[in-house]
Structure 1
Amino acid sequence: MSATPSFKPSIKLLDATMMVAGSMIGSGIFIVSADITRHTGSAGWLLLVWLITGFMTLTAALSYGELSGMFPRAGGQYIYLKEAYNPMTAFLYGWSFFTVIQTATIAAVGVAFAKFTAYLLPVFSEENVVLPLGSLQITAAQLLSILVIVFLTYMNTRGIEGGKTIQTTFTLTKLISLGALIVCGLVALKPAVWQANWQDAWHLHALTDTGTAASYTTMAAFGAIAAAMVGSVFSSDSWHNVAFVAGEIKNPKRNIGLSLFLGTAIVTVVYLLTNITYLSVLPLSEIAHAPKDRVAVSVSQAVLGNAGTIVIAVMIMVSTFGCNNGLILAGARVYHTMANDGLFFKRAGTLNKAAVPSFALWIQCLLACLWCLSGRYGDLLDMISFVVVAFYMLTIAGIFILRKKRPHAERPYKAFGYPVLPILYIIMGLAFCGLLFIYKPRFTWPGLIITLSGIPVYYLANKRKNGEAAAVSARETADAQP
């Protein structure tokens, strides 16, 4: 009889770091600064929003290092929540992760790839309706995004080596490309534009479509900051994906925590420098109202002329392709762990001959493709930001719980700045979620409803699992009788 396939530790520190950075950098950094500028109206606040988000991300990553060292196995955040709280809390995370967080993100990144491919090949335009079905119109962009998701899923079913190679290669390429954009932008700095952008740099206000400034009341200003951070939080998310593949990382107790720190630090610096580049070339009004929010395209056109559009299109294609590979690779490991707990499709808990959870990969692919066709992934990602940060806070609070529950457990790496930085993250996360809840309820209720809808699903899954366990026990008892 052949041995049951098991995960193969083959991911080195460089690959793990590139997985962190590559999963974070998609299309957001090229686009969301427009919305942030509309909400904040100033250069100082634009950078501060990115800095606050970067600080929160880095703090969370440093805190996750302790948890990854304690539980260096596939499942990541799902495992941490189960160990700190209970199986239902972990399941609600896994449920939200599967239904929206990961699958809708894969869809959004896939469609972003297709939209920018249309700059080179107009046939893939989102305006090219291939199949009109009443109110549902399927475009060439959606079909291309599905093709890319299916291709990357297939590549990842062939083994970790292929997925790892794609991830490392494409992430290094996009980091080099972003570095080149930053250098070109800073070399082309326009002193008059830079000085104008930094006049009254800390006056927080809205920039309207007409270019006029609209002042905020004190409390509305806090709501505007929270709303502005929705884009930066989305652009900085998925950094924790590397923890999902802990079972395939060499020396996971050391390399997961280290890759989390290195990857998030690299991306935070790159994001800040990219926004400084935007401010060096474009007036605030042009950043806020860039065509279709594509700020990077406007900057590249200003620096490189008409060729700039093609350069940015290729950069975003590389960026989103690599990002989606990381999302697809990592996400399936969560469903694999849930299945082994009896809380997901049973087949998702098995590995194929290449030692990867192929069924989990394909079921993730199916739902992501459905989100591509729906066209609603963008709205859902806005709505789920509240839930994403809420689960981060719960997970980081779990460090305090586990230090009490398991004071003598092995901790190869301890959370940096404990307890100050983890507490600070939780306070900032509560402020972000609370302000969204008050001022932008459409970003909160849908995500909460999706998450809470997992409660009856959990009890049904648990009932089925208990029923199966009882049936197995009954058979074993009957077999044991003479």
Structure 2
Amino acid sequence: MFRSTKRAELKEEDGKSVSDVILNRRTGKLRLKRKVGLVSAVSLIAGTMIGSGIFMSPEFVLRNMGSPGGSLTIWAACGLLAMLGALSYAELGTVIKESGGEYIYILRNFGSLPAFLFAYTSVIVVRPASIAGISLSFAEYAVAPFYQSCTASPEVVVKCAAAACVLALAFINCLDVKLATSIMNIFTAAKLTVLVIIVMGGVVLLANGETKNLQNAFQNTVIGFGPVGVAFYQGLWSYDGWNNLNYVTEELKNPEVNLPRAVMIAIPLVTCLYLLVNVSYFAAMTPAELLSSGAVAISWGNKVLGSWAWLIPLAVVLSTFGSANGTFFSGGRMCCVAAREGHMPAILSMAHVRRLTPSPALIFTSTIALILIILGNFSSIVNFFSFTAWLFYGMTIAGLLYLKIKKPNLPRPYKVPIIIPIIVLIASVFLVLAPVIDNPQMEFLYVILFILSGIIVYFPFVYYKHCPDFLSKATLYLQLFLEVAPTDRNIN
């Protein structure tokens, strides 16, 4: 197989020099190219963060907090937490210069079993659930104009549209890295434009005296351990993606500089926009109107834009599609890195010999996302994702604290004060425990049991390296059919 890969490197195919393929001469394995510059890095973070959440979560945040003031406080706190977490991750990414995000950091700091449990949970459920949730949001807005006379779009139509979104993204990301990042840049520009339109509409409303909904803003605010935790979950869903750049470190140009720089540009920009967009929502709608709206942005558009209201559902469709694309882009890389380390089937570690995309991992992720679309709904996907994600975010931040205390002399091109990861770790513990303590549900036990069930898989297949014959044969056939070869690290 490696001989045929080497021959492919020396000839031209489809009018494209295969010198684009980087081959590690020592191992005979492919390397993914560094094609992600600063603009694409900012787009990956901001474009993934700005998705379905800002158009759907305001209702859920307000429902849990009880007041506009409490709701805006949660949005600001979520932005601050995302910023502190991303700065901590930036230091980890410049110390451990490998793709894979939390997986690779947990592996290097705590060993094989914890890293496998993260990969097992993330690859099978968390990442595909995130893609499924965003795709369902895309579908709800995409089909809504065709069912204006109905109170809600037919569920089967929504799920079919979500499945079509997943399949389209799988095709784009398998086809070409540059195409995927170009789409990311274009869609990020489009969604920033629509958020600016909503902000400007809010400015006009406030200038015209529409401030009554923001007076006594903190009246009826709910202050409880559980409601605040759930409100954080819904708000942080809108900020999900703050850590996405760490999943593609090996494809990032000059990561020591561009990783922290992209974080410092993207997250404050998104946080400011989110706060201003929420203020615009409250300027246009009373809390009761906002709570009764199934699609907050569309309700805002109908009240403020008049005959131009159709721009909002179109913009939301573009926004959610772009966000799902960013999640797809990074999620496939994590799956690929886990397989490269022996924690997933070998076929998932491979990349296409000419296109240099991790197509097997992307196909696997899209398949699981399609299954979750059939089985799940938006609210359950958000809650499950948030609980599990912050469990492992906390473990990752604990790894950074370990490195700071035990290995202070490691080369660090970028360094954050130790108080920042401590704050993020405390917040992670709160977000994991708050809903469980306030409102214990069997679902949380099921989540923990699912994570721990990975131990049953780990020992025979990873620790003792048992590989059934049928899996080896399937890997060979899939490798030939998909035209893929093993990948190697690119940390130079």
Answer yes or no: same fold by TM over 0.5: yes
Shifted more, 255-264 versus 349-358: the winner is 255-264
Partner of 1:118: 143
Q: Give, in angstroms, the shift of residue 44 of structure 1.
A: 1.4
Mind listing any 5+ residue stretches in structure 2 that lack a counterpart?
Answer: 7-22, 24-28, 469-492
Q: Is the 8 A contact 2:133 2:381 kept in 1?
A: no
Q: Is the 8 A contact 2:59 2:291 kept in 1?
A: yes
Aligned residues: 442
Partner of 2:174: 157
Partner of 1:61: 86
Structure 1 segments, 4+ long, off by >6 Å, are 125-128
| Match 2:225 to one of 210, 222, 225 | 222
Partner of 2:457: 457
What whole-Å deviation, never above 9, does each CA across 1:362-401 have from its counterpart, x for those lacking one? 0111111111111346413312312211211111121111
Secondary structure of 2:179 counterpart: helix
Q: Is the 8 A contact 1:348 1:359 kept in 2?
A: yes
Q: Give, in angstroms, the shift of residue 173 of structure 1.
A: 1.1
Evaluate the alpha carbon distance shift between residue 456 and residue 410 of structure 1 in structure 2; reply closer, same or farther with a 3 A threshold: same
**2:366 is equivalent to residue 365 of structure 1:** yes
Q: Give, in angstroms, the shift of residue 168 of structure 1.
A: 0.9
Write the mapping of 1:264-413 to structure 2, written as runs, cut at 5 A: 264-290=267-293, 292=294, 294-305=295-306, 307-308=308-309, 310-352=310-352, 353-376=354-377, 378-413=379-414
Compute the RMSD of aligned alpha carbons. 2.3
**2:175 is equivalent to residue 179 of structure 1:** no
Q: Give, in angstroms, the shift of residue 40 of structure 1.
A: 1.7
Q: Give, in angstroms, the shift of residue 299 of structure 1.
A: 1.4
AA partner of residue 347 (structure 2): R
TM-score of the pair, normalised by structure 2: 0.85
Q: Give, in angstroms, the shift of residue 112 of structure 1.
A: 1.3
Evaluate the alpha carbon distance shift between residue 314 and residue 196 of structure 1 in structure 2; reply closer, same or farther with a 3 A threshold: closer
What whole-Å deviation, never above 9, does each CA across 1:46-91 have from its counterpart, x for those lacking one? 1101111111111000111100001222212111111121111111
Q: Distance in 2 between matches of 1:287 and 1:461?
A: 50
Shifted more, 325-334 versus 457-466: the winner is 457-466
Q: Is the 8 A contact 1:22 1:326 kept in 2?
A: yes
Q: Distance in 2 between matches of 1:151 and 1:384?
A: 23
Q: Is the 8 A contact 1:100 1:380 kept in 2?
A: no
Partner of 2:481: none
AA partner of residue 137 (structure 2): A
Q: Give, in angstroms, the shift of residue 14 of structure 1.
A: 0.8
**2:475 is equivalent to residue 445 of structure 1:** no
Secondary structure of 1:344 counterpart: coil
Secondary structure of 2:465 counterpart: helix
Q: Give, in angstroms, the shift of residue 440 of structure 1.
A: 3.0
Partner of 2:480: none
Secondary structure of 1:453 counterpart: helix
Q: Give, in angstroms, the shift of residue 431 of structure 1.
A: 2.3
Partner of 2:104: 79
Q: Distance in 2 between matches of 1:38 and 1:446?
A: 26
What whole-Å deviation, never above 9, does each CA across 1:388-446 have from its counterpart, x for those lacking one? 1121111112111112343322111012xx22122122222222322211113336333
TM-score of the pair, normalised by structure 1: 0.86
Q: Give, in angstroms, the shift of residue 190 of structure 1.
A: 7.3
**2:212 is equivalent to residue 195 of structure 1:** yes
Evaluate the alpha carbon distance shift between residue 63 and residue 190 of structure 1 in structure 2; reply closer, same or farther with a 3 A threshold: same
Shifted more, 246-255 versus 1-10: the winner is 1-10
AA partner of residue 65 (structure 2): T
Q: Give, in angstroms, the shift of residue 306 of structure 1.
A: 5.0
What whole-Å deviation, never above 9, does each CA across 1:85-106 have from its counterpart, x for those lacking one? 1111111111221122110111
AA partner of residue 69 (structure 2): G
Q: Distance in 2 between matches of 1:66 and 1:224?
A: 32
Partner of 1:262: 265
Secondary structure of 1:5 counterpart: strand
Shifted more, 385-394 versus 49-58: the winner is 385-394
Q: Distance in 1 between matches of 2:151 and 2:335?
A: 32
Q: Distance in 2 between matches of 1:42 and 1:377?
A: 23
Secondary structure of 1:223 counterpart: helix
Write the mapping of 1:24-173 to structure 2, written as runs, cut at 5 A: 24-122=49-147, 139-173=156-190
Evaluate the alpha carbon distance shift between residue 275 and residue 439 of structure 1 in structure 2; reply closer, same or farther with a 3 A threshold: same
Mind listing any 5+ residue stretches in structure 1 that lack a counterpart?
Answer: 130-137, 207-217, 469-482
Q: Distance in 2 between matches of 1:409 and 1:126?
A: 59
Secondary structure of 1:351 counterpart: strand
Q: Give, in angstroms, the shift of residue 303 of structure 1.
A: 0.6
Evaluate the alpha carbon distance shift between residue 459 and residue 412 of structure 1 in structure 2; reply closer, same or farther with a 3 A threshold: same
Q: Distance in 1 between matches of 2:47 and 2:234?
A: 17
Q: Is the 8 A contact 2:227 2:435 kept in 1?
A: no
Q: Give, in angstroms, the shift of residue 289 of structure 1.
A: 2.3
Report % sequence identity: 28
